[in-house]
Structure 1
Amino acid sequence: MTKFTVAICGGGVGGLACAVALSQYPDIRIDVYEAASKFLKSVVQALGWTGSSQRLPSSPLIIIQVGKANCFISTRGTTAPTYVIELSFNFRKGDQSEGYTFHQLYTPAILLRHLSASSRTYTSKRSSHSPIALRFKDGSTATCDVLIGADGVKSATRRRSSTSLRTPRSLRRAAQPRWSGIYAYRTTIPAEALRSRIPNHTVLREPMAYLGKDTQVTAYPLLHGKIINVAAFRTRYDSEGAPMKEPWVVDTTKDELAADFAGWEPEVQAMFQCTSKLSRWAIHTTERLPTFVSGRVALVGDSAHAAVPFQGAGAGQAIEDAYLLATLLGHPKTTLSTLTRALRIYDAVRRPYAQDVAKTSRECGMLFTLNYPGLSSQDIANGQAADKLRVIAETIRKKWSWAWDTTLDGDIQRAVRELEAS
C-alpha cells in the first residue's frame, strides 16, 4: 500500500540520490522528472576533492549508477564503502615564470560502489507551474504529495515556491541565482597530447592545484590517465552579485584564456595549448535561504545551497541532503498527515550545516586565489612566499577537515529523535 507519492524534479546527482534513498521504502511511490532528454551519461565513481561523501553512514545507499538506456537505481546487493588515505592535491604556485610545489595534501577518500535501479523516471520534463500540482512545458501534468526540488542552481521549484506564496520580497530575491564573481574555463585534454609536450608532467600522474593572484587552475587525470580534466578560474570579487546579462556558458578561445593567465608558468601553458574545445562558465550560487522547505516542497543540492566548487563538495552535499530527507520521509511516523512536520525537521537539521559548507567553499576560493582577508599578495611578492603559502595550505586543510572529522550519523539520529518525539 502506498502511503504517499514523492515527485523529484531533477535527474542529476541530488535527484537520483533521493530516488535511491527513497527506494528502500516500498510504501513510497517515487516519480523522477528530468528536464533534459536523457539522464546522466556516465557513472559517478568518486565525489569531491576531499571525500566529502564519506560522511554518509555505512548503508545500502552508496552511489548511483546510470544504465545504458535510462536511469536505473536501487539499493540492493551493495556493501559499505572502502576508505583509503590518498593524495588529494599537489599545491603549486603557478602564476609566475617558474612555478614551484609548496605542499601535498593527503586526505581520507572514499571508493564508491555502483548501484542499479528501480523507480519511475521521465525525461524532457521541465516544470512550468506550481508545486504539488505539476504542469510541464510539454503540456503534460502530474500530481504528488511531496515535491523535492533537485533542479539545480536555476531551480524552477525554488523560484515557484517563493513567488506562488505570500512571501516577502527579500525571499523572492533570494530565490534568484547569484553570480559569484568567478568565471571557470573548463576543458579536457588528451594525456598523450600533454605528454608529447612535457613527458614527465606531474598532472599525468597526480592531481594538481595551481594557485595565483585572482586566478587558480585545478587539473587531474581521468579514465585511468587517458584524459586530463582542467578547470581554470578567474575571480572578480568586486563584481560578486552583479547581474549576469550574458549567457552563463559560452564557447571561448585559447586567446581569451591566455589573456587571463598571462605570465603563468610553462607547465600550465602547456596544458592550455593542448585544448581543442574550451568553454567559459559564469559560476552562480544561491543566496543563504531562510528555509529549504515550503509546505510540502523541499529543496536539495544546488537548488538549496549551490556553492562555488573550491571544496568539491556539491555532489556529496546533495547526497547527504537526500539521505537525511529520505530517512525522515520513510520513517513509520511520517504519514500523509505528518509530512510537513518531517520536512520542517529536515530543514532545521540540515540547513545550518549545508550553508556552512557553502560559506567555507567561498573562503577556500579566496585562499586559492590569494584573496583571503589578512593575506597580502604583496608579502608574497616581497619574498615571504614560503611562510605565507604554508599558512594558506594549512588553512585550506582546516577548512576541508569537516569532510573527514564529522559524519552524518549524528544529524540523522537527532532528526529521527525529534520526529519520534512529535
Structure 2
Amino acid sequence: MSAISNSEASPIRVAVVGGGIAGITLAIALAQASTTKSMSVHLYEAAPHFTETGAGIGMFRRPWQVMKRLNLGEEIKTVANIPDDEDSLNLAFRMSKSDEPRSTQEFDMFIPFGNITMHRVEFQNALAHHLEHEAITTHFGKRLLEYTLEANGGILLHFRDGSTEQYDVLIGADGIHSATRQSMIQLAINDAQAAGNTDLVKDLSRPGIKDPVWSGSVAYRSLIPSDKLRELNPNHATLTAPVNYMGKDKHIIAFPVSLGKSVNFVGFVSQPEMEGTVWEGKTVVQRTHEDVAKAYEGWEEEVEQLVKLIDSPSMWAINTLKALPIASHGPVAIIGDAAHAMTPNQGSGAGQAIEDAYVLAALLTHPSVTRDSIPRALKIYEKIRLPHGNDVQRRSRENGKLYEFAADERFPHLSTVSTTTAGATATDTSETDVRGIDANRLVKEIGEAAVENWKWAWTTDVETDKMEAIRMLEEGEEA
C-alpha cells in the first residue's frame, strides 16, 4: 500500500478507475493542466490492455468541441471524416419506416456539423497516445472491488489481486457495473441513515441506482465489410451516412466506421413490458445469422441486404441506470456510464462521458482547489453535470420509444400502428397503414420529435457548463 501525504506541497493524488473513453479523456484533461497544478494521475484498467466493447460510436458538435479544446482533434481526424465546414448542415440520420418489403417514407435529419461516426476501439486508441505524459501512470490488470474512507481523509482502493492503494481523489469511470458507484451509494446510504434523512435513503435504494436494470431491449451487433455491401448495392444508404430503419418494437441503426471501410450494424428488439426488470444470464452472447434474419423477416430491401452479410452476430442486453440523485460523495465522484448509463438511442453516451471529464478536470485543476476543498469541487461538478446527464438519458429513452412506435401523450395514435403498412403486401401502392395511419406523416412526426429531443447537441456548448462550474467555485457558492 502506498502512503499518502497530507502536505499541500505534495502532489494531489488522483485515481481514475476505468480505462474506457471516460477515464482516458479525464486523465488527459487532468494531465494537460498539471503544469499549473501539482497533480499525480493514476489510471487503472481491469483488462491487461486497453479494450472497448461494441464497435460504433457517434459524435455530435458538443463533444467534438471538447476534443479540439483538449488538442485531440487531429487524432480524431485519423479515424473519422470531419466536415470541412463545421457549421454547415450535414446529414446526421436518415429515418424510414422499414418493417415492410417496400419503404418510401423517409425523414432526413440535417444539423450543424452532423454526426461523425467511427470505430470505438480506433477512437480509444487515438486518445491513448496522449497518456504518455509524466503526470499519468497507467496500471493494467487492476480491477477495483470497493473503496473505503480512511481516518486521515484518504481513499483506500481495494483491488481483486489483493493489493490496496491510497489516494486523495477517486473518480469512477468504470462503466455501468461500476464498483465505485456501488461503494459510493452504500456509503451515502449509511451517512443518510445516520443523519435521519429517510427520503435520501429511499431515493438511493431504488432499483437501477446501485445496480443496473434492463431496458427491455436487446441489440444484435455486427460489423459488415463495406466492399461486400457495395457489391450487393453500390448505392446502399449506410455506406455514406447513418440510417435508422424503424419498425414496431424493433429498429436498426447502421452507419459507416473506420473511414468507410465497414458498416456498423445494431439491430434492436424490444419487450417494452420488461423495462425495469433484471436481465437474467450473460449480458453478451453469440447468436447466428438465422436469429437476425428471423427478427427482421419481411423488412425492406436495404435491411435484407445488411442482414444477408451478417455472419456471427453478438446479442447484447441493453442495461441502464435510473436517474441518479448523486454523482459524488466526499472525495469520490463518478462519470460517464457509471453516472448515467443510457440506451444508445441518441448516440450520446460517449459524448456525455467526454463532457463529464472536461468539466470535472477544470474544477479539480483549478488553482484554488486543495485537498480540503475537493469534496466541494466534486459537488459543484455534480450540480452542473448530473442534471444534464440525466436529461440526455431520459431523452435517449424517449427517442428509442419513438423509433419503435411506442405511444405517449404526444403521439397516442402510435399505439395503433401495425407492423406493416400497405396492407402487408409488397404490390399494394397505398401509403396508408391498415389502421388508418399515414406512413409519411408518421415518419415525419417521429423525425421532428427526435430532432427536438436532440437539439441540445448542437444548439448548446459544454463550455457554458464549465464556466458556470468555475464561477460557483470562485465565488464560494454552495453546490
TM-score (norm 2): 0.79
**2:24 matched residue in structure 1:** 16
Query: Quick one: distance in 2 between partners of 1:101 and 1:170?
Result: 44
Which residue type is aligned with residue 170 of structure 2? Answer: L
Q: CA deviation at 1:367?
A: 1.0
Matches within 5 A, 1:154-165: 154-165=177-188
**1:419 matched residue in structure 2:** 473
**Cα pair 1:345 1:415 within 8 Å, conserved:** yes
Matches within 5 A, 1:54-133: 54=64, 56=66, 59-62=69-72, 84-109=88-113, 116-117=130-131, 118=133, 119-131=136-148, 132-133=155-156
Matches within 5 A, 1:198-237: 198-237=233-272
Query: Quick one: distance in 1 between partners of 2:91 and 2:228?
Result: 24
**Cα pair 1:20 1:64 within 8 Å, conserved:** no
Q: CA deviation at 1:93?
A: 1.5
Note the aligned Cα RMSD (angstroms): 2.5
Matching of residue 31 in structure 1 with residue 66 in structure 2: no
**Cα pair 1:133 1:141 within 8 Å, conserved:** yes
* Partner deviation per Cα, 1:272-316 (whole Å, 9 max, x = no partner): 111112001001111211100011110000000011001110111
Which of 314, 327, 335 is matched with 2:370 structurally?
Answer: 335
Between 257-266 and 31-40, the greater mean CA deviation after superposition: 257-266
Distance 1:354 1:203, change over 3 A: same
Which of 143, 159, 168 is matched with 2:166 structurally?
Answer: 143
Between 259-268 and 380-389, the greater mean CA deviation after superposition: 380-389
**Cα pair 1:47 1:316 within 8 Å, conserved:** no
**Cα pair 1:50 1:311 within 8 Å, conserved:** no
- 5+ unaligned residues in a row in structure 2: which ranges? 1-8, 77-84, 117-122, 149-154, 193-200, 418-432
Query: Quick one: distance in 1 between partners of 2:303 and 2:470?
Result: 49
**Cα pair 1:64 1:116 within 8 Å, conserved:** no
Q: CA deviation at 1:391?
A: 1.0
Query: Quick one: distance in 2 between partners of 1:356 and 1:207?
Result: 24
Matching of residue 351 in structure 1 with residue 377 in structure 2: no
Distance 1:338 1:141, change over 3 A: same
Which residue type is aligned with residue 384 of structure 1? Answer: D
Q: Secondary structure of 1:287's partner? A: coil
* Partner deviation per Cα, 1:373-405 (whole Å, 9 max, x = no partner): 124243544251111211111111111110011
**Cα pair 1:90 1:101 within 8 Å, conserved:** no
Q: CA deviation at 1:41?
A: 7.2
Structure ID, larger Rg:
2
Query: Quick one: distance in 2 between partners of 1:55 and 1:402?
Result: 14
Query: Quick one: distance in 2 between partners of 1:320 and 1:157?
Result: 19
- 5+ unaligned residues in a row in structure 1: which ranges? 67-80
Query: Quick one: distance in 1 between partners of 2:453 and 2:218?
Result: 22
**Cα pair 2:241 2:256 within 8 Å, conserved:** yes
Which of 428, 439, 448 is matched with 1:385 structurally?
Answer: 439
Which residue type is aligned with residue 142 of structure 1? Answer: E
Q: Percent identity, aligned pairs only?
A: 35
**1:409 matched residue in structure 2:** 463
**Cα pair 1:47 1:312 within 8 Å, conserved:** yes
Q: CA deviation at 1:65?
A: 6.2
Which residue type is aligned with residue 310 of structure 1? Answer: N
**Cα pair 1:291 1:351 within 8 Å, conserved:** yes
TM-score (norm 1): 0.90
Query: Quick one: distance in 1 between partners of 2:359 and 2:287?
Result: 40
Q: Secondary structure of 1:180's partner? A: strand
Size of the alignment, in residue pairs? 406
**1:175 matched residue in structure 2:** 210
Query: Quick one: distance in 1 between partners of 2:73 and 2:378?
Result: 23
Query: Quick one: distance in 2 between partners of 1:41 and 1:383?
Result: 42
**Cα pair 1:3 1:335 within 8 Å, conserved:** no
Which residue type is aligned with residue 69 of structure 2? Answer: S
Which residue type is aligned with residue 355 of structure 2? Answer: E
Which of 302, 305, 313 is matched with 1:267 structurally?
Answer: 302
* Partner deviation per Cα, 1:4-50 (whole Å, 9 max, x = no partner): 111000000000111011012321110000111111479x9x95254
Which of 351, 357, 360 is matched with 1:322 structurally?
Answer: 357
Distance 1:288 1:41, change over 3 A: closer
Which residue type is aligned with residue 379 of structure 2? Answer: R
Query: Quick one: distance in 2 between partners of 1:280 and 1:63?
Result: 33
**Cα pair 1:89 1:104 within 8 Å, conserved:** yes
Query: Quick one: distance in 2 between partners of 1:342 and 1:127?
Result: 24
